Structure 1
Amino acid sequence: MGFRTGLIIGSTSFLLGTLAIHWTADHLILWQTPVTHDSLRTAHVYYQNTMVDMSANFSKALHGVGLIGALLLISKALGGRESNWLFDGASLFLFGASGVLYYQKVVPSLRSLPPMSSSGRSGTVDARDATFTPLREIASSHAVLAVALVGVILLQSGQYYSERLAERERIEEDEARIRRRQRRREQEEKEKAKRLGNQGTSSAVAS
């Protein structure tokens, strides 16, 4: 696997891993039916402590990894091969769309996350709840981001295997061409030896 492809898959996997960490809160909002106030409080505390109060260093690391992945994809897409435009172009689109979705949906929802009510309410959460709406936006955006990043990994892996397959076919064609040349040369040598043998026989008969 190429160095740039390995770095792209590694950076994308890192970003995908950070989304997997959020699953502990996201599944309470997206996949639990019905959503209860206890689940809402758990998800709110998680996002308040994990993302809103996230350390500046970790935030910079996420941005740095994302920037590295985007730059590597751009450099690969401009590499000149036809497969680069197919696989790297699609990967770059998914990567860019993920960045737009993160800054247009996740970041504003985190900033608009209201303080959790101190009342110990229980039961089902109203879909119009002021706390539930941004949490649902965050969770659904994370699900879409995960699908997009998995798509990037699959495209890069598909490009690697397609290039390996093309390289193997090229080697097999070269080997077959060499074998044909060898057989042609052997055949020519046999015909030459046969002609020389016939000439020697004719000379002996004539003498």
Structure 2
Amino acid sequence: MAKGATSFATFLIIGPTCFFLGILFSSFPYDYNVLWTTPPDREVYFKILEDHVKFLYASPPIISRILHIAIATGLIGFITKLYKPSEANMLFDGASLALYMAGVMVYLTNLVKGFKVITAGIYGNVVPGVAENVGPDDYISREDTLRVFAASNTILALVLVGVLVLQAGQWYALKKEDAEIKEMDRVAEEKKTNKGKKKQ
């Protein structure tokens, strides 16, 4: 694949990845006191996160469409780079794609489900009127649901950072390879020049 096409495909991967990291960073203040600290009155922070999730879920449809377009853009970048792949593509882009798809799965299974559960306010599978037949381990409480949602944001952020690290590693490896090829060409050219001088 041409170097320009590879650079553009890399841009298609890095752009959406940074976009998602920005979204997750903006959610970090809501997740922080739910997941990382134990403030005296944690209920306030559970309520803040719950209200934030409900507000996001009630966003206009254009918001989710932009998000899904960004996800698709990243996938297009991977497909472009993995078309007729080199060894470096298979190693770095293959691993990056695996992480990216892991992030998509976290989004679909944990975050989308979390949005629906938190907005509906139906935590676990306790049916009113039959709660006495349900054991304490048969449902997830409101607090645990919000913690899982916050932890999913953290997991997703780590996965996306992994994608960026692998893309940076690929760029470094290709740059190093180009430098080595140029050095080999220079040495070969010097040998040719020296041989020509000796013949004269």
What band does the TM-score fall into relative to the shorter chain? 0.7 to 0.9
Instruction: Let me know the Cα RMSD of the aligned residues.
Output: 1.8
**Residue aligning to 1:83:** 88
Post-superposition Cα deviations, 1:76-134, rounded to whole Å, max 9, x if no partner, equal 12332100000000000000011111111111111111549xxxxxxxxxxx8732122
Alpha-carbon shift at residue 172 of structure 1 (Å): 0.9
Aligned residues: 177
- In 2, Cα distance between equivalents of 1:75 and 1:129: 42
Identity of aligned residues (%): 30
- In 2, Cα distance between equivalents of 1:12 and 1:147: 11
- In 2, Cα distance between equivalents of 1:170 and 1:11: 32
1:149 and 2:160 correspond? yes
Question: Would you identify which runs of 4 or more consecutive aligned residues in structure 1 move more than 6 Å?
Answer: none
Alpha-carbon shift at residue 12 of structure 1 (Å): 0.7
- In 2, Cα distance between equivalents of 1:79 and 1:38: 53
Match of 2:42 among 33, 36, 43: 36
- Structure number with larger C-alpha Rg: 1
- In 2, Cα distance between equivalents of 1:28 and 1:53: 23
Match of 1:104 among 106, 109, 130: 109
> For 1:22, what is the secondary structure of its paired residue?
helix
Match of 1:4 among 9, 17, 20: 9
Which amino acid counterpart does residue 194 of structure 2 have in structure 1? Answer: R
Q: Equivalences for 1:113-128 in 2 at 5 Å? A: 113=118, 114-115=120-121
Alpha-carbon shift at residue 135 of structure 1 (Å): 1.1
Post-superposition Cα deviations, 1:53-81, rounded to whole Å, max 9, x if no partner, equal 12211111111111110121122123321
- In 1, Cα distance between equivalents of 2:89 and 2:164: 14
Match of 1:166 among 164, 177, 184: 177
- Answer whether contact 1:8 1:69 (CA < 8 A) is retained: yes
> For 1:32, what is the secondary structure of its paired residue?
coil
- Answer whether contact 2:12 2:76 (CA < 8 A) is retained: no
Gaps of 5+ in 1: 117-127, 190-207
> For 1:79, what is the secondary structure of its paired residue?
coil
1:133 and 2:138 correspond? no
- Answer whether contact 1:110 1:134 (CA < 8 A) is retained: no
- In 2, Cα distance between equivalents of 1:136 and 1:80: 40
